[in-house]
């Protein structure tokens, strides 16, 4: 049944090619995801998963077909404003070890386009940051420099930063890559709760489906630049 919820992402026969590359990285992609849904995109290395995320955000433009984010065609200038309503945690999130910002500051910087980052962070926002950090089990390391944290702790800091912006659509590229088993489940559950409490949309790219497949509303399998199958779970 078609849901009445708003549309988060729509891709219509989308083809994307990198400059200088002879062959399109993704081809003939058709996908619609609504607000209120968590979509898992999976498939082997080189399948086109990261390319798909960056196309949804309008960072890459289709050579053929149309991509819409929150109803706006990614070729339009307005896409810059629409992107501010979204969060993206790229695959290579790691900061160099000499980075001296504390984890808390890194999270606060996620609010840069919304709040005054030079001003005092209001108490309700501080409380919200603490709540998300505790949910992700990083509440006790917020005052440590980000460069001193383990890869898994850093990954959770960047996920917290993406969530505190209260995005309408959150894109996470391989968010479980540095996490241990317990942390994978905590992160998956946190993303799932965020989507349902905020009528938001999450697009999670992961070659490892185990932590999140039972929480996803839609599972998209990619290989060799195309969607090879889709599995809808419940009313999407
Ligand atoms: N910056 C780039 N320039 C040229 N080709 C690229 C670039 N990034 C990715 N590709 C190619 O596009 C295809 C899809 O890559 P990618 O979207 O990163 O796959 P995945 O995220 O599923 O591992 C691959 O063949 C890859 O080599
Ligand atoms: Mg990738």
Lowest mean pLDDT among 3-12, 108-117, 126-135, 227-236: 108-117
| 33 contact partners, CB below 8 Å, separation of at least 6 | 7, 8, 9, 10, 39, 201, 203, 218, 236
* Residue 191, SS3 per DSSP: helix
1, pLDDT greater than 90: no
Q: Which atom of ligand 1 is nearest to the CA of 47?
A: 22
pLDDT band of residue 2 (cuts 50, 70, 90) is very low
pLDDT band of residue 121 (cuts 50, 70, 90) is confident
Ordered by start, the domain boundaries in the chain are 1-85+167-231, 96-166
Measured in angstroms, how far is the CA atom of residue 26 from the centroid of ligand 1?
9
* Residue list, ligand 1 pocket, CB within 6 Å: 18, 21, 25, 43, 45-51
Model pLDDT for residues 130-186, shown as the tens digit of each residue: 999 999 999 999 999 998 999 999 999 999 999 999 999 999 999 999 999 999 999
**Residue 156 and residue 187: Cα distance in Å, rounded?**
8
Measured in angstroms, how far is the CA atom of residue 231 from the centroid of ligand 1?
24
pLDDT band of residue 109 (cuts 50, 70, 90) is confident
- Give the domain 1-85+167-231 fold: Rossmann fold (3.40.50)
Instruction: Output the pTM of the full model.
Output: 0.94
* Residue 24, SS3 per DSSP: coil
Model pLDDT for residues 71-98, shown as the tens digit of each residue: 999 999 999 999 999 999 999 766 666 6
Quote the Cα angle for 61-63-68, to 5°.
Answer: 45
Q: Which atom of ligand 1 is nearest to the CA of 51?
A: 17
Measured in angstroms, how far is the CA atom of residue 38 from the centroid of ligand 2?
18
């Amino acid at each position: 049944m078609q849901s009445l919820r708003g549309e988060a992402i729509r891709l219509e026969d989308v083809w994307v090619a990198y400059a200088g590359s002879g062959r399109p990285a993704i081809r003939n992609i058709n996908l619609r995801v609504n607000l209120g849904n968590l979509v898992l995109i999976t498939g082997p290395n080189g399948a086109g998963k990261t390319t798909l995320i960056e196309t949804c955000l309008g960072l890459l433009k289709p050579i053929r077909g149309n991509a819409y984010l929150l109803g706006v065609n990614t070729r339009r200038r307005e896409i810059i404003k629409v992107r501010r309503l979204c969060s993206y945690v790229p695959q290579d999130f790691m900061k160099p070890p000499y980075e001296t910002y504390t984890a808390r500051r890194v999270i606060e910087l996620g609010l840069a386009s919304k709040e005054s980052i030079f001003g005092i962070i209001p108490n309700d926002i501080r409380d919200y940051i603490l709540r998300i950090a505790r949910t992700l089990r990083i509440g006790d390391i917020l005052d440590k420099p980000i460069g001193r944290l383990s890869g898994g702790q850093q990954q959770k800091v960047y996920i917290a930063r993406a969530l505190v912006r209260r995005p309408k659509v959150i894109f996470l590229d391989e968010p479980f890559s540095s996490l241990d088993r317990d942390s994978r489940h905590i992160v998956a559950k946190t993303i799932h709760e965020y989507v349902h409490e905020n009528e938001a949309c999450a697009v999670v790219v992961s070659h490892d489906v185990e932590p999140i497949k039972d929480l996803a509303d839609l599972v998209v399998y990619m290989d060799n630049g195309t969607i090879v199958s889709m599995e809808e779970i419940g009313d999407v």
